[in-house]
Structure 1
Amino acid sequence: MVTKDMNILEAVQKYPVITNVFKNHGLGCVGCMVAAGETLGEGVSAHGLDADAIIKEMNELIAEESAK
């Protein structure tokens, strides 16, 4: 599972499926140079989105993938 405090690149490396959530919300965080030093919470909030809701969506997707 991911948290707001996780580094973006580390989270994506551990759970590649979350890139779908970034894409669905128009976030280019994965390809952004800042992602290496930014947390998921910082990256999502910087775009004016609800970090808690996005993290929840990511964790739901991770759970779905793990159940397969």
Structure 2
Amino acid sequence: MIEKEMTIAHIVQNYPATIPVFRSFGMHCLGCPSATGESLAQAAQVHGFDVDRLLGALNDALKSD
């Protein structure tokens, strides 16, 4: 299960099925330096997304994987 406190890099490395979800939200630089230090909650705030919506979509991707 993905949580808000996880970094994007951790999520992508451990749950590659989430990559299309990030891209669908317009987050294409999954390997950028910020991805290793920002939590999902921080990244959602920076990009102007509702973190709960993003979190739900990411966890849904894990269910269908």
More helix by share: 1
* Structure with greater Cα Rg: 1
Same fold, TM exceeding 0.5? Answer: yes
* Whole-angstrom distance in 1 between the partners of 2:29 and 2:50: 15
TM-score normalised to structure 1 length: 0.87
In angstroms, what is the RMSD of aligned CA positions? Answer: 1.0
Work out the number of aligned pairs and report it.
65
Find runs of 4+ consecutive structure 1 residues off by over 4 angstroms.
none
* Whole-angstrom distance in 2 between the partners of 1:8 and 1:62: 15
Shift of 1:8: 1.1
TM-score normalised to structure 2 length: 0.90
* Whole-angstrom distance in 1 between the partners of 2:45 and 2:62: 21
